[in-house]
């Protein structure tokens, strides 16, 4: 049967008023707590779903979202790992080279083999050459003159040398092939010890002592080393203060 509007309103009024009251509290407070509980439950559910997606759901070690991991991790290498190259521009060295390292552009050269020290050139020997005191090429000055002696080379000697600076015998043509030191052998006669000065090429002179040969007929000799120039040389005998021995000849050789 038809129910009138007013009758229905009077019937539903208590129910409408009661939906806002729950045990003495308004219904809107109970609805707010329900809404918060639903939000928390949704967040927890999403977290559980994400955890289930990441972690393997079973013991096979796989996951639906992440790629499978290798079953074993390779051990670390024992050899040292080379350092990475410098990040600078091409050609820029990663470290400053030290002086001990040879330059790539100049490789070290091999040491030359040991060689013997340079030897001075060997001078060929010079055959001895005899020069007679009475030869025409020589010069007699002052009182110096020829004297005959039977036992002398060529039968003659030059006597009366010395006693004054002007009394001298000069050998003029002493020829050697090259300069250097030579041996000079002087053959002489003197009955007593006498001295004589010897100079080469009008240079410095040396004073020599000539031992006695017992008499004025016996030949003796005396040897010394002198320096001669290449080519023609001169040798002079004298004594400015005393008499010198008589000179028979000289022999020049190496």
- Three-state secondary-structure class, residue 123: coil
- Per-residue pLDDT for 75 more than 90? no
Q: Name the phi and psi angles at 82, rounded to 5.
A: -60, 145
Tell me which range, 9-18, 79-88, 158-167, is most confidently predicted by mean pLDDT.
158-167
- Per-residue pLDDT for 219 more than 50? yes
What integer is the mean pLDDT of 130-143?
A: 96
Q: How far, CA to CA in Å, does 226 sit from each of 144, 187, 196, 238?
A: 24, 16, 15, 17
- Which residue in this structure is represented by tokens 């796989």? 62
Query: pTM score > 0.95 for this model?
Result: no
Confidence band of 195 (pLDDT split at 50, 70, 90): very high
- Per-residue pLDDT for 3 more than 80? no
Q: State both tokens at 157.
A: 């000697």
């Amino acid at each position: 049967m038809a129910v009138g509007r007013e009758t229905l309103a009077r019937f539903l009024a208590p129910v409408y008023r009661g939906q806002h009251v729950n045990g003495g509290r308004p219904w809107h407070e109970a609805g707010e707590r329900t809404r918060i509980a639903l939000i928390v439950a949704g967040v927890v559910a999403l977290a559980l779903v994400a955890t289930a997606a990441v972690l393997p759901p079973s013991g096979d070690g796989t996951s639906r979202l992440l790629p499978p991991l290798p079953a074993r991790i390779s051990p670390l290498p024992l050899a040292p790992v080379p350092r990475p190259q410098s990040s600078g521009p091409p050609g820029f060295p990663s470290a400053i080279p030290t002086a001990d390292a040879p330059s790539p552009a100049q490789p070290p050269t091999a040491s030359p083999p040991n060689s013997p020290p340079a030897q001075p050139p060997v001078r060929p020997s010079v055959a001895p050459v005899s020069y007679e005191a009475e030869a025409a090429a020589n010069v007699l000055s002052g009182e110096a003159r020829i004297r005959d002696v039977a036992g002398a080379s060529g039968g003659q000697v030059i006597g009366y040398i010395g006693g004054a600076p002007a009394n001298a015998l000069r050998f003029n043509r002493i020829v050697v092939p090259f300069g250097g030191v030579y041996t000079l052998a002087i053959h002489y006669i003197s009955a007593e010890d006498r001295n004589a000065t010897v100079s080469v090429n009008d240079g410095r002179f040396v004073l020599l002592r000539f031992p006695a040969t017992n008499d004025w007929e016996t030949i003796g000799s005396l040897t010394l080393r002198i320096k001669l120039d290449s080519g023609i040389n001169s040798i002079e005998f004298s004594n400015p203060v005393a008499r010198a021995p008589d000179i028979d000849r000289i022999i020049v050789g190496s």
